[in-house]
Amino acid sequence: MKITVAQSSGFCFGVKNAVSAAEEAVKDHPDGRRLVMLGEIVHNKNVVDKLISEGFEICDRAEDCPENSIVIIRAHGVTPDETAVLRSRKCEIRDMTCPFVSKIHKIVRENAQKGKNIIITGTKGHPEVTGILGEAKDKGVKCAVIKDPEDINGLDFPLESAILISQTTFSSEIFKKICQTVKNKIEKSNVFDTICITTESRQKEAASLSEVADSMIVIGSAHSSNTTKLFDICKGRCARTFLVNSGTEVKDLISEGKILPDDKVGITAGASTPEAIILEVVQQMNEEEKITNQGFDTEFANAVDLIAQVRRGAVVKGTITSADDDYVYVDVHDKSEGRISRKEFDSDPDFDLDKAIADHTEVTVKVRSIKNSDQGKEIILSKNDVESEKGRAEIEEAYKNKTPIDVKITRTVKDGVIGSYKGVDIYIHRTQIKSGDVKDLDSYVGQTLQIIVTKFDTEKGRLRISGSHRIIVSEERRKKSAEIWDNIEEGKHYTGIVRSLVDFGAFIDIGGVDGLVHVSELSWSRNAKPSDVLKVGDEIDVYVKSFDKETKKISLGYKKLEDDPYYNIEERMPVGCIVQGTVVRLTKFGAFVQLEPDLDALCHVSQISSRRLEKPEDALSVGQVVQAKVIKIEPEERRISISIKEVAPIDPEIPEEPAQDAPSEEAPVEAAVESTDEQA
């Protein structure tokens, strides 16, 4: 019996990330918080049962998730409505939607907003399909889920108005047939091949393997979409194809004579199948048939048909032969040359690539993957992977000794950043970057941070490394804090950083200790808000006004005496001098005139005009520029009195009284006559 295990077997990228997130939640979640899977995180009973035993519970609907729980969203993704429900229930959402699925969500969302109808090739009711179609809800467009070319004829909307996308695990072979059916009916730009690259490679390899196998084993759940498609592909090429969930089922197949001793056996596995199950199947076959020298041992990584020395994960030597804009090609003594991303060489300024090609320089490389295609075998290599082995050893040593190391932040991920140390990725959660909330993760990309390695986990065959810059910052802050409290005194100046602004002032970090500058100490302007004077991150000079070592509180001063508008006022504006200002406010007793920013003087109503005024408005208006004489200064009371009338009084015009008609000359005579008549 000869056994060949497909290289593209087991957990896909999305499922692996989701399961890892669940395992991390088990280790790190706070006490009292409930852990929830929104739907089974993976179509594998063993994995799900293990997570349940560790504290997880399963909810099929967002409405059923307990409030304030930690909810893992599986790789299939969810609808926007479900996300909204989780947020309304104040759940902590750890969204592990596969990047390929998230891309489909974006395509559907954007095109639905443009009024495009949606055609998706996939399984109606599948969680991934349901989540995708949720992006088109309430957009006024029609959606259809199809599974073969014939379904196109049953659509109730014109193809010209639609886009075509696919479920990530749909059959690439059938999708191509559907694309041919809609050719010239749906524009090429509206057809999106969204089948996962891993899925397509897995299906191609399964098809190739089953064509030459006498019997074929597909490991996975019958409830898994991608597993059932693998089974269909293999069954169509190999009559004796079997779907199994465990090594025990394989044992039964062998004992029943369904798999024969002389068979060429091919093994593939769905994206929901953990490596441990695949290894169990291989080991069971080994035990049953006593096959010990057929090119594999008890390690899964080596349970592959090793016809050639070059295999996935192997470290081999080769010679550099040529290069193009994207890749450097290496002869690794296989029928096909391997290729390394040119970026690995461009990032090393000391490596002369042209000379290496001319000299056929030998390099040690690691085989990342091998893919079979119509053009031949595609071998992807890495030089950095080999060099990173040294980095891992140094990181492990630093972990054991709690020795700081420097990492360069290369990219952001959900809730954190990735730091690189000699090609090895180290995860730094956003809470471990610094003390306090980190809002902009992108700003750290390209920076070098010193960290303490807090986790170096090699369990389950996966290396997980985490680090913390916050530990170093906190320790430095603790040392500085102790030094400050040992030497603090009133009046002492410090250079501080503005950490936060509040209504009543600003908190300033003076090097390990925070002090408060009250709003009254920020500016001489009475109406100034903290945000008018400072912004977070400003570097400022402050001095200690008072402190309490027991309560660890420090009151700081910021505004300077020389910035006071009344500073040296009697010298700058002595009594008797002439000043110019602008009327800024009128009251019943006078006018306030601004002489300088934040410096107002009062001109009493009696000092405005040479005439008696009932109110200042009779002579002045806001915004009017006037000249006046300083008649009194009271620095302690922060008052200045001025007189306009002593320089140029402003006298309002007195309106003329209307003229009265002069009496006529005849009036007196008439009056006399009347008087005489009365007397008579």
Mean pLDDT across the stretch 60-71? 92
Show the domains of the chain with their CATH numbers: 1-98+199-307 (3.40.1010.20), 99-195 (3.40.1010.20), 315-382 (2.40.50.140), 386-473 (2.40.50.140), 488-559 (2.40.50.140), 573-643 (2.40.50.140)
Dump pLDDT digits (tens) for 521-554.
888 777 778 888 888 888 888 999 999 888 889 9
State the pLDDT confidence band at 31, using cuts at 50, 70 and 90: low
In terms of Cα–Cα distance, which of 114, 127, 12 is closest to 58?
A: 127
Q: Which long-range contacts (CB under 8 A, 24 or more apart) does 158-161 make?
A: 159/119, 159/185, 159/186, 160/185, 160/186, 160/187, 161/115, 161/116, 161/117
Contact 172, 203 (CB under 8 A): yes
Reduced to 3 DSSP states, what percent helix, strand and coil does the chain have, rounded to the nearest 5? 35, 30, 40
Instruction: State how beta strands 448-457 and 464-468 pair.
Output: antiparallel
Position 145 confidence tier, pLDDT thresholds 50, 70, 90 = very high
Residue 192 structure tokens: 């999106």
Query: pLDDT at position 481, please?
Result: 85
pLDDT-derived band of residue 674, with 50, 70 and 90 as boundaries? Answer: very low
Q: How many CA atoms lie within 13 A of 573 on its CB side?
A: 25
> Where in the sequence numbering do the catalytic residues fall?
128
d(CA 146, CA 123): 7
3-state secondary structure of 204: helix
Q: What is the pLDDT of residue 272?
A: 81
- With beta carbons less than 8 A apart as the criterion, state whether 537 and 543 touch: no
Check whether 678 has a pLDDT greater than 80. no
Q: What are the tens digits of pLDDT across the range 591-627?
A: 999 998 888 999 999 999 988 888 999 899 999 999 9
Tell me the pLDDT band of 376, cut-offs 50, 70 and 90: low
Residues, the chain = 680
222 pLDDT band, cuts 50/70/90, is confident
Between 387 and 669, the higher pLDDT residue: 387
User: Which distant-in-sequence residues (6+ apart) come within 8 Å of 54 by Cβ?
Assistant: 26
Residues 551-561 have pLDDT tens digits of 889 999 888 77
